[in-house]
Structure 1
Amino acid sequence: MPAPNTKSAGSSRESAQQLRLDHERREKRSRLLMRWGIIGGVLAVLAVIAVVIVSSIRPDVPAAGPAPAHGNEYGGITLASPTDLAATAARTVDAEAALETRETPAGVEADAGPGPVRVVAWVDVNCVHCADFETTYSAQIKQWLDDGDVTLEYRTVAFLDRNSTSAYSSRAANALACVADTAPQAYLPFTQALFGNFPTGELSDDELSDLAEASGAGDISTCVAEGTFRPWVDFTTNAASSSGISGTPTVYIDGEPLASPADFVTGVEAAIEARGA
């Protein structure tokens, strides 16, 4: 009987094993390709969703637009009393215009000669620390304004739109500008009402309009819905950033930065006393 061809048998086993390994590699490659295809599809869907969300948050906000009545060249609105806003010239703003980078913000220095202390505050309506600041000091601020001891300029920014799915900082700042434009006597009450509402969460456009009306501003619903002063809000925000303002609240008292909100009353009283000396 002829001897078995062990060499041939071994080769067959090796070929079979190689075929099996090749098959397993192809299967593994197919599974990987399928997995990456699924991941790629999911990422594409998420990208589309992100675009839709961003588009809904900032629906065609133009770069240029009007400033509200009483809006100054720095993006601020100044209370001369609890019911009066400082007059300003009519102007338009361009949020994309190049702004000078400054170490000290423009328009914060003390006014020359006797007169009220100049307080300038950068705030964001969606900022918890700003809400705390307003809640703590609103009565004192009103008293100083009543007595003619200070002017208070709000530069309301939208730093915290990044934390909102509805661009609440921008929408609320726009609503404040709407009130300044047509109902200056309601600007302080509406400001205090907005910050007082902080614990209950973000407001819709209709709720912003209702709160403004309850604060004595009348009907601002069209201005709110159309985002009339959204370019102004962007301008104010960009001007703040170019001046080194990176957080809120940031407060200057007669040109000097306030080190801590806890020192606000002490700082303002010292400035009032210095002006009376």
Structure 2
Amino acid sequence: MDLPPGRRAAPPRFVLRGVSEKNRDGKRTARERLAAEREKQRAAEKRRRGLIVGASVVCVLGLAAVIGIIAANAGKDDGGEATGPAVAPSGAIGQSGLVIPVGKQSAKSTLTIWEDFRCPACQAFETAYRSTIHELADTGQLKVDYRLATIIDGNVGGSGSGNSANAAACAQDAGKFTPYHDVLYDNQPPENDDAFAEDSKLIELAGKVEGLDTPAFRTCVEDGTHDGWVAKSNQAFQDGGFSGTPTVLLNGKNIYQDQTLTPAKLKQMVQEANQG
């Protein structure tokens, strides 16, 4: 059929239908791909949540196992042996008998000293203040309450703090605490050297104190007679919230934190307290 000039024939209808069907097919395919991708994401999220829950259960079970192990080992020392009962040394006083007293109990002032025989700062304190403390105690102006801690064992490792504290308690049983206390500090090993962990070393040093190296003292040291008491004393130190050793209290007031403290000032403080 002839058309007037300038007009075109309309495209066949089947061609338009073919294009429309292709578009619809393309859109449907895209929707299906999108739906499949969303389903895949939902499945992945479900698996991820399952892994989180599973991991949480494992962590809880692992924590429970750790707690069980800790509980099973509670009350045991590094060697795996129970610390045993808290057997206080002879003459110990205070709550639970955790204080070793030195000097006349009638003295008006009390100096409380928390110490660790492995502690270098404790040795420095002893070196500087020992003669003044002995003088004040011997003249009845001051009574000294010694309290023992084992923080170096906990910080550095080993058992020398605990073993030497037990040995000092054994010396207290023999009425030789003060001289043996001083001998331990005079022969303190370097902080990282756990020489006091050896019973033989502690017994050897007892030979420097007249009349201390006896079968009873040796048995007390080797059996760890006062190990439980030492552990309880250290717990009291921790419960007291003290920052370290030595901790020195004069009539309950922490004086060792005073940067201006000297042996002469300590003596003056004691005399003034006694007059007041």
TM range (shorter): 0.5 to 0.7
Over the aligned positions, Cα root-mean-square deviation in angstroms equals 2.2
1:188 to 165, 171, 178: 178
Distance, in Å, in 2 between the alignment partners of 1:264 and 1:196 is 20
Structure 1 runs (4+) greater than 6 angstroms displaced: none
- TM-score where L is the length of structure 2: 0.63
Q: Does 1:276 align with 2:275?
A: yes
TM-score (norm 1): 0.63
Q: Which amino acid aligns with 1:177?
A: A
Distance across 1 between alignment mates of 2:79 and 2:242: 23
Show the counterpart of 2:146.
Answer: 154
Structure 1 residue ranges without an equivalent (≥5): 1-54, 87-113
Aligned partner of 2:261 among 252, 260, 263: 263
Name 1:251's counterpart in structure 2.
248
Output the amino acid matched with 2:244: G
Q: Quick one: distance in 2 between partners of 1:261 and 1:72? A: 31
Indicate yes or no: 2:101 matched with 1:78. Answer: yes
Rounded Cα–Cα distance in structure 2 between residues aligned with 1:121 and 1:246: 13
What is the SS of the residue equivalent to 1:115?
coil
Return the index of the structure with the highest Cα Rg.
2
Change (3 A) 1:169 1:199: closer
Equivalent residues of 2:118, 2:189 under 8 A apart: no
Q: RCO greater where, 1 or 2, for CA within 8 Å and sep 6 or more? A: 1
Question: Which structure 2 residues correspond to residues 124-273 of structure 1 after superposition, within 5 A?
Answer: 124-181=116-173, 183-184=174-175, 186-199=176-189, 201=193, 202-203=195-196, 204-216=198-210, 217-219=212-214, 220-258=217-255, 259-260=257-258, 263=261, 265=263, 266-273=265-272
Percentage of matched positions with identical amino acids: 27
- The answer on whether the counterparts of 1:58 and 1:167 sit within 8 Å (CA) in structure 2 is no
| CA–CA distance in structure 2, aligned partners of residues 267 and 141 of structure 1 | 9
- Of the three residues 117, 122, 126, the one matched with 2:114 is 122
DSSP 3-state at the match of 2:103: strand
Give the Cα separation in 2 of the matches to 1:269 and 1:260: 14
Give the secondary-structure state (helix, strand or coil) at the position aligned to 2:261.
helix
